[in-house]
Amino acid sequence: MKQLIRHMRFINQILLIILLFLITSCTNKNAMKPEDFKDKKPRLIIEEYLSGNVKAWGVLQNRSGKVTRQFSADLNGTWDGSQLILKEKFNWDDGEIQYREWTIKKIDKHKYEGTAGDVVGKAIGYSYGPAFKFEYVLLVPVKGKELKITFDDWIFKQDDRVAINRATMTKFGFKVAELTVVFVKD
């Protein structure tokens, strides 16, 4: 009897692992792709838009949609013809000040790679029409630990001055937060 119970527990564990794998590996064939925006305007050329001074305001929402933090940010970018150095300063509503410096290299007309001190590996970017998609893993401090959070980041240019950013943050394939940011170029 004990052996049967152990066997049933083992089977349940295997089924749970398979179920979790299926849930996290399912892809939505109707998901938005950067190429969906190739013929739309205005065109967002990220190295041009983020060169110079840009102001930003944003809200962070937990997985149920509750706003948990707000911030303002100052961005300053310098484009040297092949890479963008983007310095960011975030002023969070709880008094925290956070800095990040990106190095974003243009690979070709549509593809970019980026690095920053708190980014694991390389960020991959795609630019089509008014949309810029940036995918990366960020080390996020939570309760004294650094968690690896995957960002699916979309920036949409509205006009010459305004762009809107929506980012979905996931861990193990599950949404943990969302970020909404409005950028205004000086």
pLDDT digits (tens, 9 = 90+) for 148-178: 999 999 999 999 999 999 999 999 999 999 9
Task: Please check the confidence at residue 108 and state whether its pLDDT lies above 90.
Answer: yes
- The structural domain count of the chain equals 1
Residue 177 is part of a domain; what is its CATH number?
2.40.128.20
| Residue pair 77/54 in contact by the 8 Å Cβ criterion | yes
Q: Does residue 126 fall inside a structural domain? A: yes
Q: Does residue 24 fall inside a structural domain? A: no
pLDDT digits (tens, 9 = 90+) for 48-99: 999 999 999 999 999 999 999 999 999 999 999 999 999 999 999 999 999 9
Q: Does residue 60 fall inside a structural domain? A: yes
Q: Does residue 34 fall inside a structural domain? A: yes
Q: pLDDT category, 13, cuts 50, 70, 90? A: confident
pLDDT at 51: 97
Domain span at residue 121 reads 30-185
pLDDT at 28: 56
Q: Does residue 8 fall inside a structural domain? A: no
- Pairing mode of beta strands 162-171, 174-185: antiparallel
| SS3 category, 38 | coil
Tell me how crowded residue 88 is: count the other CB atoms within 10 A of its CB.
Answer: 18
Task: Report long-range pairs for 68-71 (Cβ below 8 Å, ≥24 apart).
Answer: 68/177, 69/93, 69/94
Among residues 160, 145, 165, 147, the alpha carbon closest in space to that of 56 is found at 165
Our CA angle for 132, 99, 129, nearest 5°, is 10
| Residue pair 165/54 in contact by the 8 Å Cβ criterion | no
Structure tokens at 139: 């080390």
Kindly tell me the burial class for residue 64, based on how many C-beta atoms sit within 10 Å of its own C-beta (0-12, 13-18, 19 or more).
exposed
Most confident of 18-27, 137-146, 170-179: 170-179
pLDDT at 60: 97
Q: pLDDT category, 9, cuts 50, 70, 90? A: confident
